[in-house]
Structure 1
Amino acid sequence: MNKHNYARGLSLVLAVALSQFSLNTNANEGSKTLRSPSEITEKAEAGSWRNVDPENLLRMELDTGTAWIELAPQFAPEHVSNIKVLARDGFYDGLSVYRFVEGFVAQGGDASNEKAIKNGKRTLKSERFTKQPLAFTELGFKDVFAEQTGFVDGFAAAQNKQGESWMVHCPGAFAMARNNPVDSGGTEFYVVLGHAPRYLDRNVTVFGRVIDGMSAFQSLQRKKNEQDKEFNPIRSLKVASDLDKTEQKHWQMMKTDSADFKELILSRAKRPEAWFVEQPGVVDVCGVAIPVREKPKVQ
């Protein structure tokens, strides 16, 4: 190699090294200014929150506590409509959460399949995915089960190249149980309790999620004893908009297309808190808890 070529080669190596140093420096500077998930949630702008529509909100009363479940008509309008009809008819009152699988699901409804239905339907055509165009906030990291994961209006979701979208089985997901026939579900719901069973995605209709009161499901009895007169009874299931004003709670969800939430995704991946000595640099869709709060009272 002659002097000129050597000099050009050395200059190129130095340029690349300086460029890499600059990128690393910028990345480090960025990580230093990245807020923790708790700080992002605490200081989120007022415009980063949306009000939960009480018409698409269920209140379930169990002996172990109260759970609030937001429904997702943009994914499964028929399932949402049907469960509201059933709730308004009092169908679930007096039934039970009859199946509890540790770390998996709690399943409830009419185990006998014999309770009379007034106005709702016992079975529905599956709404395992929708082809309706939805505003989708991409997670930005690869997923094992789907081509793309992200969030739609505060719900963890996935999409494929065919334009199909569906809700995924993150903890708290509210879905419709079924038998082997794909369209055999309609009244029996389940709530995901533990680690996300993503292999169930697209096999059933997920049409909501528990936004408050997961402890009520986690505290249910595991097995029925002979002396038990009742087993995990459902005292009532009501649509929140039908509740008396003294019973209502007003919830807000962080908008998943907001700048605050997009920073939250990055913060969950990079974990800027001082406690972390190893930052994963990635996160899956169920690893980003979507913040929920009671609506602040106007002073």
Structure 2
Amino acid sequence: MIKTSLIILSTVVFLTGCMQQADEPRIPVRAPAEIINTAPSEVWQTIDNQNVLRIELETGYVYVELNAQLAPHHTKNIKLLAQEKFYEGLNVYRFVEGFVAQGGDPTGSKMPVKAQKRINAELSHKTDKKLAITALDGSDGYAIRTGFLNGFAVGQNYGGTKTWMTHCTGTFAMARGNEINSGGTEFYITLSPQRYLDRNITVFGRVLEGMQHVQQLQRTPVEGKPYNPIKRVDILSDVATQDQSVFEYLQTNSAEFEELVAARTNRPEPWFKFTPNYVDVCAITVPTRRKS
């Protein structure tokens, strides 16, 4: 009976502490729009166009930054696929509302010339020492630690020696069958967070611009009309004479980004009367813009 009373008392104390934490006075912080709009040029990082894919759909262009640090082999392979025009004549053949849009060759019969049809999975990036990230406070149901690394949302193990990209909206990943190393050509873009897929599939990029064009794709085939054809997939640096797009993101190890995280953790706008003192890694969109 005494033990039960102690457990109940401990629970009450814990819950009271949580309530007090949530009800504590807010630390003054600027609104997200102000933080982004006033961030100086030196905290904006230019993205290398050699690691940006431009996917041309009937609905418009989708620009994807590839993560050569965490998934170097997938990055190299899809760049080879782009250069040999593998995706021309193929389509985004799977669209699941609120889940993913998946493109490539649904028959599996088309063979690459120089690229690999199948590639070993890169579910996480292993390092001998802890890889520094801009970590978020608070617990996460899918990873010991979450945060940001060079503009990408990531998860980590306890020691920081395994790092992987998380399935947030606009994640670019490689589809596969049941066999872990069966992926290689079929890519997908997440339409909403799908964190339960983390570390089950290789994630190797994020959409920089053009999610609206993905969302505008046909949900089901229409008779007499091509179903979401892929017109072209190019490395952006390879089409520099036709497309001078250059993107930059707010450095995720900057003081401005840390302030942005604080503003997302406890919303400073007067409309909000209660804030939970918590933010999920997928609830923070890394500010990305075209470089002027």
Q: What TM-score does the superposition give when structure 2 sets the normalisation length?
A: 0.89
| Residue 66 of structure 2: aligned partner | 71
| Residue 6 of structure 2: aligned partner | none
| Residue 16 of structure 1: aligned partner | none
| Residue 145 of structure 1: aligned partner | 142
Q: Which of 35, 38, 59 is the equivalent residue of 1:40?
A: 35
| Residue 284 of structure 1: aligned partner | 280
For 1:135 and 1:209, locate their aligned partners in 2 and report how far apart those are by CA, in whole Å: 20
| Residue 166 of structure 1: aligned partner | 164
| Residue 193 of structure 1: aligned partner | 191
> Structure 1 stretches of 5 or more lacking a match?
1-22
| Residue 155 of structure 1: aligned partner | 152
Residue 94 of structure 1: CA displacement?
1.6
Alignment RMSD: 1.5
Q: For the pair shown, which has the larger CA radius of gyration, 1 or 2?
A: 1
Matches within 5 A, 1:193-232: 193-194=191-192, 196-228=193-225, 230-232=226-228
The answer to whether the 8 Å contact 1:106/1:190 transfers is yes
Moved >2 Å (runs of 4+): 27-31, 132-135, 225-228
Amino acid at match of 2:248: Q
| Residue 13 of structure 1: aligned partner | none
Residue 29 of structure 1: CA displacement?
6.8
For 1:172 and 1:242, locate their aligned partners in 2 and report how far apart those are by CA, in whole Å: 23
| Residue 83 of structure 1: aligned partner | 78
Percent identity (aligned): 46
* Distance change >3 Å, CA 186–CA 29, structure 1 → 2: closer
SS at match of 1:248: coil
For 2:187 and 2:259, locate their aligned partners in 1 and report how far apart those are by CA, in whole Å: 33
Q: What TM-score does the superposition give when structure 1 sets the normalisation length?
A: 0.87
For 1:155 and 1:55, locate their aligned partners in 2 and report how far apart those are by CA, in whole Å: 17
What are the Cα deviations for residues 248-297 of structure 1, in whole angstroms up to 9, with x where unaligned? Answer: 2010011100000011111001100122122221100001110001112x
For 1:63 and 1:134, locate their aligned partners in 2 and report how far apart those are by CA, in whole Å: 40
SS at match of 1:42: helix
Residue 135 of structure 1: CA displacement?
3.1
Matches within 5 A, 1:110-121: 110-121=105-116
For 2:208 and 2:80, locate their aligned partners in 1 and report how far apart those are by CA, in whole Å: 21
| Residue 245 of structure 2: aligned partner | 249
| Residue 17 of structure 2: aligned partner | none
Aligned residues: 268
For 2:26 and 2:138, locate their aligned partners in 1 and report how far apart those are by CA, in whole Å: 22
Greater Cα shift, 156-165 or 99-108? 156-165
